[in-house]
């Protein structure tokens, strides 16, 4: 993706995602902090869901209805930033296809797609952030969530920024690019397969010797963290932006 020169203090909307909104607001606050540190003016327009659950379940009409709401909510900002590769990919890749040929909405969907970024790749690619001022003692392993990796090409960006976190060592899994088995509704529609996949993943995580699991998507993280705790493993799980923003005080996912 070619680097674009952002305005001096870009008006930036945080598309916080349903899961972060409901389950883990600290990811939203960490995102806002990182954006402000990078020189963005952060706004949180009232918003609901991007429509991905409906879109991936075959309910195209439902997906369109929710997508229209999101498109309207995010108009008037220089950038829209998402702490999730999956929801970001829905807006960036799927919206233009969903509205292809629609005289009113195709243009608006394309405009939003062009302004929308996953947060870590936004910081590095658009705001040219090279380092963060954060500290986190320990060894982390990073899971590449599928949409961020394969739809948006995010691979080095989180590792580069994590490399600047004081006290943190990265230890790679054997297969960081293999799906954790979350898959949205997949994990409850096909629990047996999902369990097999997440069990492979937690074994891979444990083999790294890391005490901290990081990723860029809360759905995947809840799946892996839930399995790690069910298996009684001591590995903690956090969204990558929490560590980048220096928030290690908030209890890890599934901890109290």
What spatial distance separates the first Cα and last Cα of the chain, rounded to whole Å? 40
**CB of 137 or CB of 175, closer to other proteins:** 175
Where helices occur in the chain by DSSP H, the ranges are 18-23, 25-37, 52-56, 60-73, 85-89, 95-98, 105-115, 119-121, 146, 156-162, 186-189, 191-207, 218-230, 240-244
Q: How far is the CB of 253 from other proteins (least distance, A)?
A: 5
Least distance between other proteins and beta carbon 53 (Å):
6
Q: Is the CB of 169 or the CB of 200 nearer to other proteins?
A: 200
Closest approach of Cβ 78 to other proteins, in Å? Answer: 16
**Distance of closest approach, residue 123 Cβ to other proteins, in angstroms:** 19
- Angle, helices 60-73 vs 105-115, to 10°: value is 60
Q: Are 59 and 115 in contact (CB under 8 A)?
A: no
Closer to other proteins by Cβ: residue 53 or 163: 53
Q: What is the DSSP string of 67-96?
A: HHHHHHHTTT-SEEEES-HHHHHIIIIIHH
The distance of closest approach from Cβ of residue 114 to other proteins in the complex, given in angstroms and rounded to an integer, is: 21
- The single-letter DSSP state of residue 179 is -
109-114 own/partner pairs: CB under 8 Å, 24+ apart: 109/67, 109/71, 111/75, 112/70, 112/71, 112/74, 112/75, 112/80
CA–CA distances in Å: residue 86 to residues 82, 97, 166, 235: 9, 16, 28, 24
- Cβ nearer to other proteins, comparing 21 with 78: 21
Crossing angle for the helix pair 191-207 and 218-230, to the nearest 10 degrees: 80
Q: Closest approach of Cβ 221 to other proteins, in Å?
A: 8
**Least distance to other proteins, CB of residue 6, Å:** 19
Structure tokens at 18: 């349903």
């Amino acid at each position: 993706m070619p680097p674009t020169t952002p305005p001096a203090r870009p008006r930036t909307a945080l598309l916080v995602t349903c899961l972060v909104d409901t389950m883990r607001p600290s990811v939203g606050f960490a995102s806002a902090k990182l954006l402000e540190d990078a020189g963005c003016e952060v706004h949180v327009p009232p918003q609901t869901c991007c429509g991905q659950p409906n879109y991936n379940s075959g309910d195209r009409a439902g997906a369109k209805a929710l997508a229209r709401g999101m498109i309207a909510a995010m108009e008037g900002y220089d950038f829209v930033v998402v702490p999730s590769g999956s929801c970001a990919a829905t807006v960036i890749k799927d919206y233009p296809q969903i509205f292809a040929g629609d005289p009113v909405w195709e243009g608006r969907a394309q405009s939003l797609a062009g302004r929308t970024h996953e947060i870590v790749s936004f910081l590095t690619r658009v705001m040219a952030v090279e380092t963060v001022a954060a500290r986190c003692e320990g060894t982390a392993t990073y899971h590449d969530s599928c949409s961020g990796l394969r739809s948006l090409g995010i691979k080095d960006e989180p590792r580069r920024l994590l490399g600047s976190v004081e006290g943190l060592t990265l230890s790679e899994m054997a297969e960081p690019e293999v799906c954790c088995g979350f898959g949205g509704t997949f994990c409850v529609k096909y629990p047996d397969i999902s369990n097999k996949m997440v069990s492979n993943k937690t074994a891979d995580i444990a083999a790294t010797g890391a005490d901290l699991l990081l990723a860029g998507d809360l759905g995947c993280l809840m799946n892996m963290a839930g399995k790690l705790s069910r298996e009684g493993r001591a590995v903690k799980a956090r969204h990558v932006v929490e560590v980048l923003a220096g928030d290690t005080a908030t209890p890890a996912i599934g901890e109290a």
